A and B are shown apart, each in its own frame.
Chain A
Amino acid sequence: MTDAQHIAPSRSVARPMTVDRPPHWRASETASRVYAIIIYATVPALLAGFGFFGFSALMVVAVSVAATFVFDSLFSWLAHRPTLALHGGRMHTVLMGLLLAMSLPATVNWLVVVLASVATVVIGKGLLGRYTWQPVLLGRLIVQVFFHRQLSLPNGPVLGPEHLCLGRLADPAIVPMYGSWLDAVARRADAFLLPQPLAAIRDLVGGQAEWVQQAVAQVSQGGADVGTPAGAVLFKLIWAKLPAVTDLLIGAVPGEIGATCSIALLAGGLFLLYHGYIRWPMVLAFLFAAAATAAIAPLRIGLLDGDGVPAWRWFPGVQFHNGMPVGPLYVLYHLLSGGLLLGVFFFAGDMVSRPMTRRGQILFAIGCGAGTILIRLYAFIPAAPYLFTSGATYLAILLMNTFTPLLDRISQPRAFGH
């Protein structure tokens, strides 16, 4: 019994109104903005990479981003994967390309870069674009197995202080005794070959390396300090075999393009923390677990035994030598080298493959931190002794990615009233 008389026409709208579901407004964050900001956070580390590894680093980044983008587009089209077109999809692809380049050394062959991107896209992101294992790390692991001679070397080149960005990385000069990057020796060369910090640390576990045996033998005969040669051996390691801590901070050490400069990585990480894309507890848990494991895990820095191999000594992190805190310094080297910071901020912090709950993230980070050090020190393949000098962080994160669904289940927050 509608009475036409009292139904007045709508006065206001010429075009139809939108009927949306609540909430009728949204926070300003979108997935593509999230990825864009993570991309900005990689910039300092990438710039440092260009500085210390020059044009080759630029090439690796360009090839990696281009290849990842092309293959992701191609594969999305072939697999009818919808995620690329949705917001954030393309940004994510670019981010994956950048992260891949950051985790590869500048000396790597460009074909290896392309293969790594293919593995990242096809095996890492998979058919659905929803992944359990961080795709870049998975792609990198695959090429690492096949091309470990290119990715895991006991030493690598760095451009000289007067040849930043523009020097040639090929034919590096060999520096016999490692001082610091700013040494006069290094200034003349375009680039010079340096030992990987972690390769020297690995020698302490192998016990076979000549310098370790010499150091232990020397200390053992010293008499006065016979019971505790550990501090002296660590002193030798830091003094003669490792770069200065300042080199690690500015990134003047051989390694992956985006993994060497600790200051740049910390700047990027703080940026992410400021935006809330990663949270303090997780970062601190990672660093603390790594530091604690490094401080405790035994090294062969004790007395020589019958076979001429140094004995295991626990707690290297608390050793002192002539009042010098060599143990804590040794732990610091662990934290600042081998891509650990890159792993903390960009790979463990990867939203998709980390647990969602805070408690889950802390457990995850503890596993990553402890795993990194254990793999670095004890995962040993005779055929490729330095395989894990730099890949340990990445492998540990990949392993912990496996447990992400489990951690999510067991670390549910307490529901209201339960």
Chain B
Amino acid sequence: MRTIQSLFHGGIYLPSEKALTLDAPVQAIADPQFIFIPMRQHKGAPAVPCVQPGELVLQGQPIGRADGEESVAAHSPVSGKVCAIDDIRLPDGTHSLAAVIESDRRNEAVEHINVPHDPAEVSEANFAERFAGWGLVQMSCRGMPLHRRLQIARDNQVHTIVVNAMESEPYLTADHRLTVEQTLLVALGLAHLCRLIGADRGIVAVDHRRREEAELLDRLLVEHGEALGLTLGAECLDHLYPQGHELMLLKTLFDEEVPVRLDDGAGGLASDRAGVCVLGVGTVAAAADAMLFNRPLTHRVVTVSGEAVRKPGNFLAPVGTRVFDLLALCDVESEYDRLVVGGPMTGVAQPDDQSVLTKQTSGLVLFGTALVHQPGPCIRCGWCVEDCPVGINPALLADLAESGQWRRGSRFHAETCIECNICSYVCPSRLPVMERICKLKRALEREEDDGASGRVGEGATRRT
């Protein structure tokens, strides 16, 4: 299988650091004693709790029901007793209601789940309701409810689904392990999702360093695609960061450039305008799991890695597991400096280890040593311009943001920024370049909204 070279300009090869956990099989963890299931693990309205403290619940039982169209249900990953409905902090820094469940460690499941289920029963007409009922959301950082994502794709007459198995962030291997161990699930998931939105083509984009994985996947995809009359396949792509971003996938696979608009949020939905819908491999596997085994989304694969972890690994953990419960399994150095949820390029550093895993948590990376971040003046080396995958001048935009010249930002295409963070990574003066560009984008967004309701502080919080 041939490696497809990246077609976008710029980009960098990051140190991969994946060898730590690349060959570590996914290990299902024993249920922790307490599990906190957040009601909001997606964009849109949070689920509404439908259990009371003191109530006994079974594994897979809904404990929050979807609140309207833009919402999905939440399920208990364990059997046990509901202790409380409490407010907790999520890894991205926002707060959400969560059901606290004390596990009885018996793992009794609800009756009809975990049994073979006919995927044909899920059809174009009822998938929204079914997917919301299974709690399916995008398991990448954006976290839109999967049925909403598919509806938007259908409305845009998307003809191709691209499954993103690139995993371009260093350290993380959760998607890789999932693809290796659940290859058939990914292939079937892609086939059925194509069927649901009327796409006739499906491509899984795999890092070219995982060629064997891609070849196996390709065989299965071709086989199952033919049965359903779909053109499915896998492709090997170069690992130039940020090849895993959806717009860069679009560029490399189809040589199409879609201009990003401010309301796309770092290019989230821009690919739809080119007739392509990009989904994460975890999302597709979870959808397949749900359609084939009637299994709600209650667990996910998480990589725990980093220089401060003595026993790194990939774990199948219940959603809602607290971070320190997971770290306890990995022999973490007690004096680590930083705990990052997500990868080192775009992940979120945690103030403590009390937050919980959500459906979007792909990994925990722990760094042992402090990083000196004191920024100096820009020395105009021009590396951010050279490496920017979307061809903007990050240093110039950061300057405009600092001097408050927001309106000029749109003339230099600030909205095109996909927040890949290369500019901050390469900056020899350690300037928070991308952060400043984001500030500029938020200011432009506010301006577009005409400041009608004076929502000044709102843009400052990170998008989830």
Interface residues of A (CB under 8 A from B): 1-3, 5-8, 10-27, 29-31, 33-34, 83, 86-89, 129-130, 276-277, 351-358, 361, 408, 412-418
Contact = CB atoms under 8 A, between A and B. Distances in A.
B80 to A, nearest CB: 11
B381 A24 contact: no
Contacts of A414: 391
Nearest to A83: B377
Contacts of B85: 1
B429 interface: yes
Interface residues of B, number: 79
Contact of A17 (B83, B338, B418): B338
B370 A416 contact: no
Given A12-B334, A13-B353, 6 more contacts: A8-B34, A11-B327, A14-B334, A25-B371, A83-B377, A413-B391
A181 B259 CA distance: 63
B461 interface: no
Given A19-B351, A358-B386, A416 B380 contact: no
Interface string B28-41: 00000010000000
B245 to A, nearest CB: 10
Interface string B116-146: 0000000000000000000000000000000
6 A-B pairs with the lowest CB-CB distances in the bound complex, closest first: A417-B259, A416-B390, A415-B413, A356-B382, A86-B376, A413-B391
Interface of B: 8-9, 34, 83-86, 100, 102, 170, 247, 251, 257-260, 270, 322, 324, 327-328, 332, 334-340, 344-354, 365, 367, 370-371, 373-377, 379-383, 385-386, 388-393, 395-396, 412-413, 416, 418, 421, 424-430, 432, 434-435
Given A351-B382, A416-B257, A6 B100 contact: yes
**Taking chain A's interface residues, is the majority helix, strand, or loop, or is none over half, making it mixed?**
loop
Contact of A12 (B270, B324, B371, B385): B324
A13 to B, nearest CB: 7
A18 B324 contact: no
B430 A26 contact: yes
Main secondary structure of the interface of B (DSSP, over half): loop
B396 A13 contact: no
A300 to B, nearest CB: 42
Contacts of B426: 27, 29
B336 A13 contact: yes
Contacts of A8: 34, 322, 324
Nearest to B370: A18
A353 B34 CA distance: 59
Nearest to B432: A21
Given A26-B425, A416-B390, A3 B100 contact: yes
Nearest to A128: B377
A412 B336 contact: no
A16 B385 CA distance: 36
A415 B392 contact: yes
Contacts of A11: 324, 327-328, 353
30 contacts: A1-B85, A5-B83, A7-B354, A11-B324, A11-B353, A12-B353, A13-B334, A17-B336, A17-B337, A18-B371, A20-B349, A20-B371, A21-B432, A22-B349, A23-B425, A25-B371, A25-B425, A26-B427, A26-B430, A29-B428, A88-B429, A351-B380, A356-B395, A413-B388, A413-B392, A415-B412, A416-B259, A416-B260, A416-B416, A418-B416
Given A24-B340, A24-B365, A412 B412 contact: yes
Contacts of B351: 16-17, 19
A352 B376 CA distance: 13
B349 A354 contact: no
A98 B149 CA distance: 60
Contacts of B258: 417
Given A17-B351, A18-B370, A20-B338, A356 B84 contact: no
Contacts of B34: 6, 8
A30 to B, nearest CB: 5
A352 B83 contact: no
Nearest to B365: A24
A357 B374 contact: no
B348 to A, nearest CB: 7
Given A357-B382, A357-B393, A417-B258, A19 B354 contact: no
A18 B345 CA distance: 16
A344 to B, nearest CB: 17
Contacts of B322: 8
Contacts of B327: 11-12
Given A3-B83, A12-B353, A83-B377, A416 B247 contact: yes
A83 B324 CA distance: 42
A352 B379 CA distance: 5
Contacts of B380: 351-354, 356
B429 A31 contact: yes
Nearest to B258: A417
A418 B259 contact: yes
A87 B430 CA distance: 10
A276 B340 CA distance: 31
Contacts of A408: 393, 396
B377 A86 contact: yes
Contacts of B412: 412, 415
